[in-house]
Each structure stands twice: as structure tokens, then as C-alpha cells.
A and B are shown apart, each in its own frame.
Chain A
Amino acid sequence: EPEVTQTPSHQVTQMGQEVILRCVPISNHLYFYWYRQILGQKVEFLVSFYNNEISEKSEIFDDQFSVERPDGSNFTLKIRSTKLEDSAMYFCASTLGTHNQPQHFGDGTRLSIL
């Protein structure tokens, strides 16, 4: 069964540094998402992406965050200047269609900010 693939599985970064989290969505999927989950807390929506532009974003997704689909297969989340509170598990998801399609999640990237 096709999978959403995320790399790396664990990223450790110094506060203030830039980090890029990578995702390869399922190949025929058209809608892509990033979520984060701080340890012990709920899954939080960050952004949805369709047709090479942001579809929706939450209040969390401020100017330090950006997303890109650089080459037709990868979908990346960049955090420009990381803060301690950015430490979380980041999940990528993709769907074939819009909101009425189930999302397939990757295994996540654990981001640790020191």
C-alpha cells in the first residue's frame, strides 16, 4: 500500500537555526498537509496546500513557517528561526481529493530544539 514518507525521523537543532522537514506524499495525491503534536497534547493543524499554493493555514503558521513543493514529489516545511516551543512531532499527510477524503499520515519527524 502506498505510504507517505517523512524524513528525517528525528531532527535535533539549536535554537535560532533553520530547519527543513521533508515529506513525500502518495504519488497521485493532490492535497498536502502539515500538522504538529507537542508531547502529550493534541494534533494541531498547521497548513494545507493544493495546486502549488496554500489552501488554508492556522494561527500557528506564522511568518517563521513556509511550505514548498520544490520538485513535484517532495513537500517541505521550513521553520526559519526555531524556538524552544517548536519542539514537537511534525506530521505530513496527503489526500487524493479535498476535505471529504481521508488523510494518510506519515510516521512523523520528531523535532527537538536545544
Chain B
Amino acid sequence: QKEVEQNSGPLSVPEGAIASLNCTYSDRGSQSFFWYRQYSGKSPELIMFIYSNGDKEDGRFTAQLNKASQYVSLLIRDSQPSDSATYLCAVNEGRTGNQFYFGTGTSLTVIP
């Protein structure tokens, strides 16, 4: 089984700061990369997805992908207390690419 690694944290940032979350993956064949947010006791909620090298921005969120380094990151600008959650990185794998592996998640706390 291939691996998806995340720093479990906890990561604490003050309100208004930039939070940087990182993820590495082991399968060079992976093509699709997702960031989910999960509040305690709730289901994962999609934040961003990225397929091509480079940056992808959506509001306060920017996903960055570097396939050569097998690295994907999520930047959250102007962090808000409501951003406090666990952030999950997910990567596709498998013969059809239709198998998905999640990292253990990074716990983010935004301090007011």
C-alpha cells in the first residue's frame, strides 16, 4: 500500500495569519490530489482539488502541487477561528486510479 504522509500537528496560528499544511505521497502514478476539512465527529468536506503542477487558488485557499517532489500543500490565508479543524490530504492510486488514500490529517487551531 502506498503512503500519504502529513504532519499530525497540532498547528496553531493566530487569527489573520497564513496556515501552511503539507502532504507527501509515495505513488508516482497518482494524478489527483484533494484537500478535505473534517470537524470532529463529522464527515470530510472538500476544500480544494488539484491535478496539475503549480498553484490553484480558490478564495482564501491555495493548493500547490509538485509532482517531481511528490508534494502537495494547502495555504489558508487570513485564517479564521472557524477554520479550526483537521485537514486531510487524499491521493488517488490503483489500477484504475479509482482508489483513494488519505493521510492521518493535520489538526489546525486558529487562535482569536
A interface vs B, CB < 8 Å?
Answer: 31, 33, 35, 41-45, 48, 50, 55-59, 91, 98-100, 102-108
- What chain A residues lie within 8 Å of B98 (beta carbons)? 31, 48, 50, 55-56, 98-99
- What chain B residues lie within 8 Å of A41 (beta carbons)? 104
Is B92 an interface residue, CB under 8 A from the partner?
A: yes
Is B60 an interface residue, CB under 8 A from the partner?
A: no
How many contacting A-B pairs (Cβ < 8 A)? 65
5 contacts between A and B (CB under 8 A): A43-B88, A48-B96, A56-B95, A100-B32, A105-B44
Asked, given contacts A42-B102, A100-B51, whether A55 binds B96 with beta carbons under 8 Å apart, the answer is: yes
Docked-complex contact A107 and B42, CB < 8 angstroms: yes
Is B16 an interface residue, CB under 8 A from the partner?
A: no
Give me the 9 closest cross-chain CB pairs, A-B, nearest first: A99-B97, A56-B99, A43-B102, A99-B92, A105-B43, A56-B94, A48-B98, A55-B98, A42-B104
Is B45 an interface residue, CB under 8 A from the partner?
A: yes
* Most chain A beta carbons < 10 A, residue from B44, B45, B97, B104: B44
B interface vs A, CB < 8 Å?
Answer: 1, 31-32, 34, 38, 42-46, 49, 51, 88, 90, 92, 94-105
Complex Cα distance, B44 from A35, in Å, reads: 11
* Most chain B beta carbons < 10 A, residue from A98, A102, A106: A102
Docked-complex contact A43 and B96, CB < 8 angstroms: no
Distance (whole angstroms) from the CB of B58 to the closest CB of chain A: 12
Docked-complex contact A106 and B43, CB < 8 angstroms: yes
Q: Could you say which of B1, B34, B97, B102 contacts A102, with CB atoms under 8 Å apart?
A: B34
Asked, given contacts A100-B32, A102-B34, A102-B49, whether A58 binds B99 with beta carbons under 8 Å apart, the answer is: yes
Known: A98-B98, A99-B100. 19 other contacts (CB 8 A): A43-B44, A43-B88, A43-B102, A45-B100, A48-B98, A55-B96, A56-B98, A58-B1, A99-B96, A100-B31, A100-B51, A100-B92, A102-B46, A102-B49, A103-B100, A104-B46, A105-B44, A105-B45, A107-B42
